[in-house]
Amino acid sequence: MTPPAGTLTIAGKTVSRLGFGTMRLTGPGTWGDPTDRATAVRVLRQAVHTYGITHIDTADAYGPHTVEHLTRDALYPYPDHVLIATKVGMIRPAPGQWMPLGNPYYLRACVEASLRRLRVERLELCYLHRIDPEVAVEDQLAVLQALQNEGKIGHIGLSKVTPDDILRANKYLTVAAVQNVLNTEESFDPAVETSRELGIPYVAYRPLGAGRLVSANGPAAPLHWLLDLGSHIAPIPSTSQPSHLAQIVAAVQGSPA
């Protein structure tokens, strides 16, 4: 099966440049179960088994915990060529509310819980969901690196970071991926160039502006804009509807690798 929009190596795996973000497979406010759980499971299976998307991005904070369970139920046992990425380090006080928590003990507990929910022995790609400004960044990175040394994390990524954050982290560990918001409305991020210079894949979340950018003309223009910015960029659009997923894949089918 030919991957949509070609391929890119992330966390040691050659995966489709077009990934799938799971954030929208929850209830309102990224909280709780989706209204139609069976459809959420079907969307995940279609992404991988019908359309050849081999990069699935999730987080323990989506639900919280909801989408890691959905991912397991939809895709386990995971095909060897599929990358399941997750994130830790964010707490959810209420629907629509997000707070970073980088206490090393909490981060370790998050990783252990994600391993159980996803039913794996190692998180192939685990992002620090946010750098907690109240905790020394070295301490947050150190616990993830310790978990990597223990074999519980394969590769470590960073989410919502600046070029300085990337350069600082890169002194302590190998940053496997950077995940920031990027789309035709939120179009400037200096981390794009930093990632390119360091050879780090850049995973663009909210590539369709939470649906705002597709209302008139469909997803083709905003997705092609991202893909054309550089071969290191991998957009991860999210949807809960099979029809929307089909439109997204059709929009990039045949794009250059």
Antiparallel, parallel or unpaired: β 13-16 and 7-10: antiparallel
Distance of CA 72 to the CA centre of its chain: 16
Residue 146: CB partners within 8 Å, gap ≥ 6? none
According to DSSP H, which parts of the chain are helical?
A: 37-45, 66-75, 104-118, 137-149, 163-170, 191-198, 220-229, 242-252
Query: Which residue of the set 62, 127, 202, 205 is catalytic?
Result: 62
Strand-pair partners of 20 = 56
Q: What would the two tokens of residue 59 be?
A: 């987080």
Query: Around 62, how many Cα atoms within 13 Å sit in the side-chain half-sphere?
Result: 23
Q: What is the spatial distance between Cα 133 and Cα 40, in angstroms, rounded to a whole number?
A: 34
H or E, element range at 159: strand 153-159
The two tokens of residue 121 are 């022995």
Residue 127: active-site member: no
Q: Which residues are CB-neighbours of 20 under 8 A, at least 6 positions away? A: 44, 47, 53, 55, 56, 57, 236, 237, 238, 245
What residues are labeled active site? 62
